[in-house]
Amino acid sequence: ETGVTQTPRHLVMGMTNKKSLKCEQHLGHNAMYWYKQSAKKPLELMFVYNFKEQTENNSVPSRFSPECPNSSHLFLHLHTLQPEDSALYLCASSQERGGGDTGELFFGEGSRLTVL
Amino acid sequence: SQQGEEDPQALSIQEGENATMNCSYKTSINNLQWYRQNSGRGLVHLILIRSNEREKHSGRLRVTLDTSKKSSSLLITASRAADTASYFCATVVPNTGTASKLTFGTGTRLQVTL
């Protein structure tokens, strides 16, 4: 069983669809993250949740809506997306110790999203 | 502007050779991490070096950190075809929040040929 599981691995959706990406971590971590990876661009941090509370929203458009019902699960709800939103969406988790000293992140395999 | 930038963008070597990748960053950091990503997959953590450390080893990996130059290097010795991947550096900057964030560079694509 992998530490961080993302579903679905691939998703194709139209601009008017509503879909959700799911992430589950089995590592007992207290922080979870959504990153966006587009071709030839650095990984972009989208959201950070620590103990289920959102601590970072990196100016992400409202068509992306995160949800963190507990420390093990993280969702990214997608609505009215644009073709430029096509990317690999990566979920990660970590054990935060506070004081700004983040340790390693554990990533899922990603959800490849294509918006038509 | 991005915090970390890797150099070179792409590197092609033969199996058995050493591969060196560099990372430069702009602001003070708590630690710097290196990750590896196989094509279309998630990132895998390789090694973490703290701001008060200068060098760290893990198997065939050697990482150095020069905080005065705001740079780090990753050396992979005796490379193998299986080392073919993209390698990213990520920096953790000090903050007072409850959860920190890593800022990634654009990565170095390493190709190891037989």
Q: Does A88 touch chain B (CB under 8 A)?
A: yes
> How does DSSP classify residue B17?
S
Q: Does B106 touch chain A (CB under 8 A)?
A: yes
Q: How far is A99 from chain B (nearest CA, A)?
A: 6
Q: How far is A5 from chain B (nearest CA, A)?
A: 10
Is residue B56 within 8 Å of B31, Cβ to Cβ? no
Q: List chain B residues with CB under 8 Å of A9.
A: none
Put simply, the answer to whether A42 touches B93 (Cβ < 8 Å) is no
Q: Does A90 touch chain B (CB under 8 A)?
A: yes
Q: Which of B60, B41, B55 is nearest to A109 (CA)?
A: B41
Is residue A91 within 8 Å of A31, Cβ to Cβ? no
Q: Does B29 touch chain A (CB under 8 A)?
A: no
Q: Which of A83, A72, A86 is nearest to A28 (CA)?
A: A72
pLDDT at B101 exceeding the cut of 90: no
Residue by residue, pLDDT tens for chain A (116 residues) are 569 999 999 999 998 889 999 999 999 999 999 999 998 788 999 999 987 788 777 789 999 999 999 999 999 999 999 999 999 999 999 988 766 667 899 999 999 999 99
Chain B residue with the nearest C-alpha to that of A50: B99
Q: Average pLDDT for residues B30-42, to the nearest whole number?
A: 93
pLDDT at B30 exceeding the cut of 90: no
Q: How far is A47 from chain B (nearest CA, A)?
A: 10
Put simply, the answer to whether B43 touches A108 (Cβ < 8 Å) is no
pLDDT score recorded for residue B97? 55
pLDDT score recorded for residue A1? 52
pLDDT score recorded for residue B52? 94
Instruction: Quick: pLDDT tens for B37-55.
Output: 999 899 999 999 999 999 9
The answer for residues whose C-beta is within 8 angstroms of residue B36's C-beta and 6 or more apart is B43, B44, B46, B85, B86, B87, B88
Q: What are phi and psi of B98, to 5 degrees?
A: -85, -20
Task: Tell me the C-alpha distance between A76 and A86, whole Å.
Answer: 14
Q: In the 3-class helix/strand/coil scheme, how is chain A assigned residue by residue?
A: CCCEEEECCEEEECCCCEEEEEEEECCCCCEEEEEEECCCCCCEEEEEEECCEEEEECCCCCCEEEEEEECCEEEEEEECCCHHHCEEEEEEEECCCCCCCCCCCEECCCEEEEEC
pLDDT at B2 exceeding the cut of 70: no
pLDDT at B1 exceeding the cut of 50: no
Q: List chain B residues with CB under 8 Å of A107.
A: 35, 42-44
pLDDT score recorded for residue A2? 67
